[in-house]
């Protein structure tokens, strides 16, 4: 259960996009992104902008967007690789998504691929997708990466929720092999007062469960929140 208000996530769609735009300003957009090695920085930005435009369309029209690349005409980004054009296109995508989400409110529904969620869940997903992809961009250009504590903690919650969501699991490819077993304790070392920033993940067969807890585990990971988020999301 998220602890942050809907409006915060709508605002973060623009704020995190702006931070990402700042990270890549002046960068070589043909550079490979180490944490997503099949992509260049340009492709990462196009992916982010395409996701935002797909979400905006799904919320605005109420129609399922089952093939975003085909259904959103400018999903792939502006023509060519002009950094200024990509930057403007990305800024517009964020602004449109945030405005449409804000106007719809948290209780509408939207569907992308096979996943149909309330807009509250989609706004949260969009904000945290940007938080994580900003880490990709930061790693590609070799700059620092920070995230507000409450946002980073909720991003870990949301990522664990996402992995355990039956709709998401049903639409994901089967990784094959046996399911891992054991427990993992995640412990943020820089959490402020009142912020739940410890997690116990119990791996089973199949799937897993998680809860906020401070308990001994098979594996323990201790790190500042931003670094812990990067570890959990393999960034």
pLDDT digits (tens, 9 = 90+) for 214-227: 999 999 999 999 99
**pLDDT exceeds cutoff 80 at 183:** yes
**pLDDT exceeds cutoff 90 at 204:** no
Question: Helix, strand, or coil here: 170?
Answer: helix
**pLDDT exceeds cutoff 70 at 168:** no
Task: Label residue 31 exposed, middle or buried (CB < 10 Å: 0-12, 13-18, 19+).
Answer: middle
User: Residue 40 gets which letter from DSSP?
Assistant: B
For residue 35, give both structure tokens. Answer: 């944490």
pLDDT at residue number 153: 96
Beta-sheet strands, E only, within the chain: 109-112, 115-118, 182-188, 198-203, 208-211, 219-223
pLDDT at residue number 170: 61
User: Residue 65 gets which letter from DSSP?
Assistant: B
**pLDDT exceeds cutoff 60 at 75:** no
Q: Rounded to an integer, what distance in angstroms lies between the CA atom of residue 97 and that of residue 13?
A: 8
Confidence tier at 3 by pLDDT (50, 70, 90)? confident
Question: Helix, strand, or coil here: 41?
Answer: helix
pLDDT at residue number 208: 81
State yes or no: cis peptide before 181, omega within 30 of 0: no
pLDDT mean over 185-201: 92
What's the Cα-to-Cα distance from 148 to each of 110, 120, 126, 151, 154, rounded to whole Å?
A: 28, 20, 16, 5, 10
Give this prediction's pTM: 0.90
Place of tokens 């039956």: 166
Q: What are phi and psi of 210, to 5 degrees?
A: -145, 155
Confidence tier at 176 by pLDDT (50, 70, 90)? low
User: Residue 107 gets which letter from DSSP?
Assistant: T
pLDDT at residue number 74: 47
Confidence tier at 53 by pLDDT (50, 70, 90)? very high
Contact call for residues 68 and 112 (beta carbons, < 8 A)? yes
pLDDT at residue number 96: 97
Q: In what order do the strands lie in the sheet with 219-223?
A: 208-211, 198-203, 182-188, 219-223
pLDDT at residue number 81: 79
pLDDT at residue number 70: 47
**pLDDT exceeds cutoff 50 at 38:** yes
Supply the mean pLDDT for the chain.
Answer: 89
């Amino acid at each position: 259960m998220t602890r942050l208000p809907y409006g915060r996530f709508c605002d973060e769609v623009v704020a995190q996009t702006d931070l990402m735009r700042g990270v890549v300003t002046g960068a070589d957009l043909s550079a490979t992104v180490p944490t997503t090695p099949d992509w260049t920085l340009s492709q990462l930005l196009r992916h982010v902008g395409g996701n935002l435009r797909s979400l905006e369309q799904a919320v605005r029209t109420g129609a399922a967007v089952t093939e975003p690349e085909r259904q959103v005409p400018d999903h792939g980004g502006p023509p060519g690789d002009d950094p200024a054009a990509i930057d403007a296109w990305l800024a517009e995508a964020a602004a449109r998504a945030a405005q449409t989400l804000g106007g719809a409110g948290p209780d509408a529904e939207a569907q992308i691929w096979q996943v149909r969620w309330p807009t509250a869940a989609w706004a949260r997903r969009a904000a945290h997708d940007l938080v994580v992809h900003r880490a990709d961009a930061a790693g590609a250009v070799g700059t620092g990466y920070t995230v507000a504590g409450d946002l980073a903690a909720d991003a870990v919650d949301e990522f664990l929720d996402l992995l355990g969501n039956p709709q998401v699991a049903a639409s994901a490819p089967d990784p094959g092999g046996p399911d891992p077993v054991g427990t993992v304790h995640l412990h943020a070392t820089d959490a402020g007062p009142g912020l739940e920033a410890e997690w116990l993940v119990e791996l089973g067969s199949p799937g897993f469960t998680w809860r906020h807890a401070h308990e001994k585990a098979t594996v323990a990971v201790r790190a500042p929140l931003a670094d812990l988020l990067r570890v959990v999301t393999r960034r």
